[in-house]
Amino acid sequence: MLLGCVMLPLLGVPLSPDEWTRLALIVAAGILYFGAFLTIGIAVSAMTVRSSSAFLGLLVFWIFAVLILPRSAILIAGRAVDVPSLDDINAKKFRYSEQLFAEDRQKMAGFTPSKSGDMRKMVEEFQKFMGAIGDERQKKMDDFSGRLNEERANRQAVQSTVALGIARVSPSVSFSLAATTLAGTSLSMKDRYLQAARGYQQTFGKFMLDKTGMNSGGGMVFRIRTGDAEKPAPIDTHELPAFVDRPAMLADVLPPALTDLALLALCIMVFFAVAHAAFRRYDLR
Protein backbone atom coordinates (compact mmCIF):
# COMPACT_ATOMS: atom_id res chain seq x y z
CA MET A 1 0.00 0.00 0.00
CA LEU A 2 2.79 2.38 0.96
CA LEU A 3 4.66 1.52 -2.23
CA GLY A 4 1.49 2.29 -4.18
CA CYS A 5 1.26 5.69 -2.48
CA VAL A 6 4.92 6.40 -3.31
CA MET A 7 4.31 5.47 -6.94
CA LEU A 8 1.60 8.12 -7.36
CA PRO A 9 3.86 11.21 -7.42
CA LEU A 10 6.54 9.24 -9.28
CA LEU A 11 4.09 8.42 -12.07
CA GLY A 12 3.01 12.07 -12.27
CA VAL A 13 -0.26 11.88 -10.35
CA PRO A 14 -0.27 15.00 -8.18
CA LEU A 15 -2.46 14.78 -5.05
CA SER A 16 -3.50 17.74 -2.92
CA PRO A 17 -3.26 17.61 0.91
CA ASP A 18 -7.02 17.02 0.99
CA GLU A 19 -6.65 14.05 -1.36
CA TRP A 20 -3.71 12.64 0.65
CA THR A 21 -5.88 12.81 3.79
CA ARG A 22 -8.70 11.01 2.02
CA LEU A 23 -6.25 8.39 0.75
CA ALA A 24 -4.96 7.91 4.31
CA LEU A 25 -8.55 7.42 5.48
CA ILE A 26 -9.15 4.87 2.72
CA VAL A 27 -6.04 2.99 3.90
CA ALA A 28 -7.41 3.23 7.47
CA ALA A 29 -10.73 1.82 6.25
CA GLY A 30 -8.78 -1.00 4.58
CA ILE A 31 -6.99 -1.73 7.85
CA LEU A 32 -10.33 -1.78 9.70
CA TYR A 33 -11.74 -4.15 7.07
CA PHE A 34 -8.68 -6.36 7.36
CA GLY A 35 -9.10 -6.23 11.14
CA ALA A 36 -12.76 -7.23 10.84
CA PHE A 37 -11.91 -10.37 8.87
CA LEU A 38 -9.00 -11.09 11.19
CA THR A 39 -11.24 -11.06 14.27
CA ILE A 40 -13.93 -13.05 12.40
CA GLY A 41 -11.23 -15.61 11.56
CA ILE A 42 -10.06 -15.80 15.18
CA ALA A 43 -13.65 -16.06 16.43
CA VAL A 44 -14.48 -18.91 14.04
CA SER A 45 -11.18 -20.61 14.88
CA ALA A 46 -11.96 -20.35 18.60
CA MET A 47 -15.37 -21.89 18.01
CA THR A 48 -14.18 -24.90 15.97
CA VAL A 49 -11.90 -27.82 16.75
CA ARG A 50 -10.46 -28.61 13.32
CA SER A 51 -8.68 -26.12 11.09
CA SER A 52 -10.46 -27.48 8.00
CA SER A 53 -13.88 -26.79 9.60
CA ALA A 54 -12.78 -23.25 10.49
CA PHE A 55 -11.60 -22.66 6.94
CA LEU A 56 -14.84 -24.00 5.50
CA GLY A 57 -16.94 -21.88 7.83
CA LEU A 58 -14.93 -18.79 6.98
CA LEU A 59 -15.15 -19.48 3.25
CA VAL A 60 -18.92 -19.76 3.48
CA PHE A 61 -19.03 -16.55 5.55
CA TRP A 62 -16.84 -14.77 3.01
CA ILE A 63 -19.07 -15.87 0.11
CA PHE A 64 -22.18 -14.70 1.94
CA ALA A 65 -20.62 -11.38 2.98
CA VAL A 66 -19.01 -10.54 -0.35
CA LEU A 67 -21.29 -12.14 -2.93
CA ILE A 68 -24.72 -13.04 -1.61
CA LEU A 69 -25.70 -10.27 0.82
CA PRO A 70 -25.07 -7.21 -1.41
CA ARG A 71 -27.03 -8.63 -4.34
CA SER A 72 -29.83 -9.92 -2.12
CA ALA A 73 -30.11 -6.48 -0.54
CA ILE A 74 -30.59 -4.89 -3.97
CA LEU A 75 -33.13 -7.55 -4.89
CA ILE A 76 -35.13 -6.92 -1.72
CA ALA A 77 -34.94 -3.14 -2.16
CA GLY A 78 -36.00 -3.49 -5.80
CA ARG A 79 -39.06 -5.44 -4.67
CA ALA A 80 -39.84 -3.03 -1.85
CA VAL A 81 -39.51 0.24 -3.79
CA ASP A 82 -40.62 0.50 -7.40
CA VAL A 83 -38.55 2.96 -9.44
CA PRO A 84 -39.98 3.92 -12.85
CA SER A 85 -37.59 3.26 -15.72
CA LEU A 86 -36.05 6.07 -17.75
CA ASP A 87 -38.07 4.86 -20.74
CA ASP A 88 -41.30 5.35 -18.76
CA ILE A 89 -40.23 8.87 -17.84
CA ASN A 90 -39.19 9.67 -21.42
CA ALA A 91 -42.52 8.38 -22.73
CA LYS A 92 -44.42 10.71 -20.37
CA LYS A 93 -42.17 13.65 -21.29
CA PHE A 94 -42.64 12.95 -24.98
CA ARG A 95 -46.44 12.82 -24.71
CA TYR A 96 -46.55 16.06 -22.74
CA SER A 97 -44.18 17.79 -25.16
CA GLU A 98 -46.36 16.73 -28.10
CA GLN A 99 -49.44 18.06 -26.32
CA LEU A 100 -47.77 21.43 -25.63
CA PHE A 101 -46.50 21.74 -29.17
CA ALA A 102 -49.94 20.98 -30.62
CA GLU A 103 -51.40 23.76 -28.45
CA ASP A 104 -48.69 26.18 -29.57
CA ARG A 105 -49.22 25.39 -33.22
CA GLN A 106 -52.77 26.63 -32.85
CA LYS A 107 -51.43 29.83 -31.33
CA MET A 108 -48.88 30.23 -34.15
CA ALA A 109 -51.57 29.83 -36.77
CA GLY A 110 -53.58 32.55 -35.03
CA PHE A 111 -50.72 35.05 -34.94
CA THR A 112 -51.43 38.37 -36.65
CA PRO A 113 -48.90 41.20 -36.59
CA SER A 114 -50.30 44.49 -35.33
CA LYS A 115 -48.36 46.55 -37.86
CA SER A 116 -48.44 45.28 -41.39
CA GLY A 117 -46.19 46.77 -44.00
CA ASP A 118 -43.03 47.35 -41.99
CA MET A 119 -41.11 44.13 -42.54
CA ARG A 120 -38.52 44.66 -39.83
CA LYS A 121 -41.11 45.46 -37.17
CA MET A 122 -43.20 42.48 -38.21
CA VAL A 123 -40.24 40.17 -37.85
CA GLU A 124 -39.39 41.67 -34.46
CA GLU A 125 -42.97 41.22 -33.33
CA PHE A 126 -43.00 37.68 -34.60
CA GLN A 127 -39.73 36.88 -32.87
CA LYS A 128 -41.10 38.28 -29.63
CA PHE A 129 -44.25 36.22 -30.00
CA MET A 130 -42.30 33.03 -30.77
CA GLY A 131 -39.91 33.73 -27.91
CA ALA A 132 -42.80 34.19 -25.48
CA ILE A 133 -44.63 30.99 -26.42
CA GLY A 134 -41.32 29.12 -26.60
CA ASP A 135 -40.37 30.30 -23.10
CA GLU A 136 -43.79 29.40 -21.75
CA ARG A 137 -43.62 25.97 -23.36
CA GLN A 138 -40.12 25.43 -22.06
CA LYS A 139 -41.15 26.47 -18.56
CA LYS A 140 -44.07 24.06 -18.55
CA MET A 141 -41.85 21.30 -19.91
CA ASP A 142 -39.11 22.04 -17.38
CA ASP A 143 -41.64 21.96 -14.53
CA PHE A 144 -43.10 18.70 -15.75
CA SER A 145 -39.67 17.11 -16.36
CA GLY A 146 -38.43 18.41 -13.03
CA ARG A 147 -41.37 16.81 -11.23
CA LEU A 148 -40.87 13.46 -12.97
CA ASN A 149 -37.10 13.51 -12.44
CA GLU A 150 -37.48 14.49 -8.82
CA GLU A 151 -40.03 11.75 -8.21
CA ARG A 152 -37.69 9.17 -9.80
CA ALA A 153 -34.68 10.52 -7.89
CA ASN A 154 -36.62 10.34 -4.61
CA ARG A 155 -37.69 6.77 -5.26
CA GLN A 156 -34.15 5.87 -6.26
CA ALA A 157 -32.87 7.45 -3.04
CA VAL A 158 -35.35 5.42 -0.96
CA GLN A 159 -34.39 2.27 -2.86
CA SER A 160 -30.66 2.96 -2.29
CA THR A 161 -31.23 3.64 1.40
CA VAL A 162 -33.15 0.37 1.83
CA ALA A 163 -30.59 -1.62 -0.21
CA LEU A 164 -27.53 -0.16 1.51
CA GLY A 165 -29.17 -0.41 4.93
CA ILE A 166 -29.59 -4.15 4.47
CA ALA A 167 -26.25 -4.66 2.71
CA ARG A 168 -24.30 -2.90 5.48
CA VAL A 169 -24.70 -6.05 7.59
CA SER A 170 -21.75 -7.24 5.50
CA PRO A 171 -18.35 -5.72 6.39
CA SER A 172 -17.31 -5.85 2.74
CA VAL A 173 -20.20 -3.53 1.83
CA SER A 174 -19.33 -1.15 4.67
CA PHE A 175 -15.73 -1.05 3.45
CA SER A 176 -16.75 -0.63 -0.16
CA LEU A 177 -19.11 2.23 0.72
CA ALA A 178 -16.59 3.94 3.01
CA ALA A 179 -13.82 3.70 0.41
CA THR A 180 -15.93 4.90 -2.53
CA THR A 181 -17.42 7.73 -0.46
CA LEU A 182 -13.97 8.90 0.62
CA ALA A 183 -12.68 8.63 -2.95
CA GLY A 184 -15.67 10.59 -4.25
CA THR A 185 -16.64 7.74 -6.58
CA SER A 186 -19.73 6.53 -4.73
CA LEU A 187 -23.34 6.56 -5.89
CA SER A 188 -23.52 10.29 -5.17
CA MET A 189 -20.89 11.05 -7.83
CA LYS A 190 -23.48 11.16 -10.62
CA ASP A 191 -25.81 13.44 -8.62
CA ARG A 192 -22.92 15.72 -7.67
CA TYR A 193 -21.89 16.09 -11.30
CA LEU A 194 -25.47 16.58 -12.50
CA GLN A 195 -26.01 19.23 -9.84
CA ALA A 196 -22.85 21.06 -10.98
CA ALA A 197 -23.94 20.75 -14.64
CA ARG A 198 -27.43 22.09 -13.83
CA GLY A 199 -25.90 25.02 -11.96
CA TYR A 200 -23.69 25.72 -14.97
CA GLN A 201 -26.70 25.47 -17.29
CA GLN A 202 -28.37 28.30 -15.35
CA THR A 203 -25.19 30.42 -15.34
CA PHE A 204 -24.73 29.82 -19.04
CA GLY A 205 -28.38 30.60 -19.79
CA LYS A 206 -28.20 33.86 -17.83
CA PHE A 207 -24.98 34.82 -19.60
CA MET A 208 -26.56 34.17 -23.00
CA LEU A 209 -29.68 36.10 -22.04
CA ASP A 210 -27.58 39.08 -20.93
CA LYS A 211 -25.43 38.84 -24.03
CA THR A 212 -28.01 38.23 -26.74
CA GLY A 213 -31.29 39.23 -25.13
CA MET A 214 -32.81 35.84 -25.76
CA ASN A 215 -32.75 32.38 -24.29
CA SER A 216 -30.25 30.05 -25.88
CA GLY A 217 -31.35 26.85 -27.49
CA GLY A 218 -34.96 27.77 -28.19
CA GLY A 219 -37.07 29.73 -30.64
CA MET A 220 -35.88 30.81 -34.02
CA VAL A 221 -33.80 33.67 -35.32
CA PHE A 222 -34.37 35.59 -38.51
CA ARG A 223 -31.27 37.15 -39.91
CA ILE A 224 -31.90 39.64 -42.65
CA ARG A 225 -28.78 40.28 -44.62
CA THR A 226 -28.12 42.21 -47.71
CA GLY A 227 -25.23 41.75 -50.09
CA ASP A 228 -23.30 44.73 -48.84
CA ALA A 229 -23.74 43.79 -45.20
CA GLU A 230 -20.60 43.74 -43.12
CA LYS A 231 -19.51 40.31 -42.04
CA PRO A 232 -20.02 39.93 -38.27
CA ALA A 233 -16.88 39.62 -36.19
CA PRO A 234 -16.30 36.21 -34.64
CA ILE A 235 -17.55 35.99 -31.05
CA ASP A 236 -15.12 36.08 -28.15
CA THR A 237 -15.70 32.80 -26.35
CA HIS A 238 -13.32 33.77 -23.53
CA GLU A 239 -16.18 35.68 -21.95
CA LEU A 240 -18.17 32.47 -21.55
CA PRO A 241 -18.42 31.32 -17.93
CA ALA A 242 -16.29 28.19 -17.46
CA PHE A 243 -17.74 24.95 -16.09
CA VAL A 244 -16.06 23.94 -12.89
CA ASP A 245 -16.77 20.46 -11.55
CA ARG A 246 -16.00 20.86 -7.87
CA PRO A 247 -14.32 17.66 -6.68
CA ALA A 248 -15.47 15.91 -3.50
CA MET A 249 -13.72 17.43 -0.48
CA LEU A 250 -12.84 15.79 2.81
CA ALA A 251 -15.41 17.86 4.69
CA ASP A 252 -18.15 16.61 2.34
CA VAL A 253 -17.22 12.94 2.30
CA LEU A 254 -16.10 12.34 5.87
CA PRO A 255 -19.50 12.52 7.63
CA PRO A 256 -21.19 9.91 5.38
CA ALA A 257 -18.08 7.70 5.49
CA LEU A 258 -17.94 7.81 9.29
CA THR A 259 -21.03 5.58 9.59
CA ASP A 260 -19.34 2.81 7.62
CA LEU A 261 -16.03 3.24 9.42
CA ALA A 262 -17.91 2.99 12.73
CA LEU A 263 -19.70 -0.15 11.50
CA LEU A 264 -16.35 -1.75 10.65
CA ALA A 265 -15.00 -0.84 14.10
CA LEU A 266 -18.15 -2.27 15.68
CA CYS A 267 -17.72 -5.47 13.68
CA ILE A 268 -14.17 -5.81 15.04
CA MET A 269 -15.37 -5.24 18.59
CA VAL A 270 -18.27 -7.71 18.32
CA PHE A 271 -16.17 -10.48 16.81
CA PHE A 272 -13.32 -9.81 19.21
CA ALA A 273 -15.80 -10.23 22.06
CA VAL A 274 -17.08 -13.46 20.47
CA ALA A 275 -13.51 -14.74 20.03
CA HIS A 276 -12.66 -13.77 23.62
CA ALA A 277 -15.74 -15.52 25.03
CA ALA A 278 -15.23 -18.61 22.85
CA PHE A 279 -11.56 -18.93 23.73
CA ARG A 280 -12.24 -18.68 27.49
CA ARG A 281 -14.29 -21.85 27.18
CA TYR A 282 -11.97 -23.47 24.60
CA ASP A 283 -10.80 -27.02 25.33
CA LEU A 284 -7.01 -26.79 25.02
CA ARG A 285 -6.43 -30.55 24.91
Partner 1 sequence: MLRTLILKELRAILASPKFAATFGVCSILMLLSVFIGIREYRTAVRQYDEALELAAQSLRTQPSWMGLTTTTYRAPDPMQIFIPGVSNDVGRLSGINGSEDVKLKNSTYADDTIYALFRSIDFSFIVQVVLSLFAVLFTYDAINGEREGGTLQLTFSNPVPRSTYILAKLAGSWLALAVPLLVPVLLAVLLVMLYGIPFGPDDWGRFGFFLVISLLFFTFFISLGVFISTLTQRPATSFLVSLAAWVTLVLIVPRLAVMAAGVADPVPSVAETEAGVDAFSKDRWDGQMKEMEARWQTRQEAMHGMSKEEREAYGREKEKEWSADDEAGRVSVQKDIDAFAVRVNEDLRNRKSHQEQLAFGFARVSPASAYQLASMSLAGTGVSLKSRYEDAMREYRTAFTRYVDRKQKETGGQGGFRITVDSRTGFHFSAPRERGTLDVGDLPSFVPPVTRFGETASGAVIDAGLLAGFSLMAFAGSFLAFLRYDVR
The site for partner 1 (CB under 8 A) is made up of: 52-53, 55-57, 59-60, 63-64, 67-68, 70-72, 74-75, 77-78, 83, 85-88, 90-91, 94, 98, 105, 108-109, 111-113, 116-119, 122-123, 126, 156, 159-160, 163, 167, 173, 176, 180, 186-187, 190, 227
Q: In the bound complex, what is the minimum distance in angstroms from residue 92's beta carbon to partner 1?
A: 10
Q: How far apart are CA 178 and CA 26, in angstroms?
A: 8
Q: In the bound complex, what is the minimum distance in angstroms from residue 186's beta carbon to partner 1?
A: 8
Q: In the bound complex, what is the minimum distance in angstroms from residue 37's beta carbon to partner 1?
A: 15
Side-chain half-sphere of 195: how many Cα atoms within 13 Å? 10
Q: How far apart are CA 41 and CA 271, in angstroms?
A: 9
Q: In the bound complex, what is the minimum distance in angstroms from residue 244's beta carbon to partner 1?
A: 19
Q: Which is nearer to partner 1, 129 or 204 (CB)?
A: 129
Q: Which is nearer to partner 1, 43 or 162 (CB)?
A: 162
Q: Which is nearer to partner 1, 109 or 284 (CB)?
A: 109
Q: Which is nearer to partner 1, 202 or 226 (CB)?
A: 226
Q: Which is nearer to partner 1, 20 or 111 (CB)?
A: 111
Q: Which is nearer to partner 1, 5 or 91 (CB)?
A: 91
Q: In the bound complex, what is the minimum distance in angstroms from residue 280's beta carbon to partner 1?
A: 25
Q: In the bound complex, what is the minimum distance in angstroms from residue 274's beta carbon to partner 1?
A: 20
Task: Determine contact, residues 126/114, Cβ cutoff 8 Å.
Answer: no
